Amino acid sequence: MPFKIADDPQTDYRELVKNAYNRCAMNYAGQRRTTIEAELSLITEHLTPSSKVLDVGCGAGIPVARHLAETFSLTGIDISSTMIALARENVPTARFIIADVMETEFPASSFDAIVSFYAIFHIPRQEHLNLFRRLARWLRPGGLLLFTIANKDDGAGYTEDDFFGETMYWSNFGPSTYEKFLTETGFQIEQEGIVGGGYESVDAPEEIHPFFFAVKREGL
């Protein structure tokens, strides 16, 4: 079976994700679409050259970190050391950190914007509310958040046997839960929509991802 419910108490799914990306980083990066301006314009049009931006689950840095680092001060964080090694080569002007976003800390209000493309759904969903609390703390009041999730609520989460040759793990709620999480953690949702396929050469027309664009409320 290519898909399995992720309910094995013996499996550390965070380690599984990290190790899988360490092994498939080159392959993933080689097939990733290399442009992203349209999606990022939601935030970039509100930023200035002195803005500080965090890219959560930045992968190999292309296209998101590279595009943002051309204008802004960019920090990328990723749990995979191989992805970060590639990102450092691809985007030498940015700062990159190898860490689990759930276990690292940044000073409060230290970013003007946070983006996360195709990464949050690899974190066990019972941690997602806490993740948004952390992102809200790291953003200044009025700061911007742009992220994608998976297309549907997937229950307990699942693994797929052949994601760029590796077993990979996903865990996601449906969009209405993220609306609640964002409101609860001090965000105002500005826009929801869909972004299409993230790959250049993989034929996956069904691959669509909801995105959220939200602003941290002033006075928080």
Ligand X SMILES: C[S@@+](CC[C@H](N)C(=O)[O-])C[C@H]1O[C@@H](n2cnc3c(N)ncnc32)[C@H](O)[C@@H]1O
Return residues touching ligand X (CB under 6 A).
17, 21, 32, 57-59, 64, 77-80, 83, 100-102, 117-119, 122-123
Q: Which is nearer to ligand X, 59 or 157 (CB)?
A: 59
Neighbours of 70 (CB within 10 A): 12
DSSP labels for 48-102? -TT-EEEEET-TT-TTHHHHHHTTSEEEEEES-HHHHHHHHHH-TTSEEEES-TT
Least CB distance to ligand X at residue 29 (A): 8
Which of these, 56, 54, 171, 170, lies nearest to 102 by C-alpha position? Answer: 56
Give the CB-nearest residue to ligand X: 59
Least CB distance to ligand X at residue 140 (A): 22
Q: Which is nearer to ligand X, 135 or 182 (CB)?
A: 135
Q: Which is nearer to ligand X, 133 or 217 (CB)?
A: 133
- The two structure tokens encoding residue 125: 């969903």
Least CB distance to ligand X at residue 17 (A): 5
Backbone angles phi, psi at 102, to 5 degrees: -85, -10
Q: Which is nearer to ligand X, 78 or 166 (CB)?
A: 78
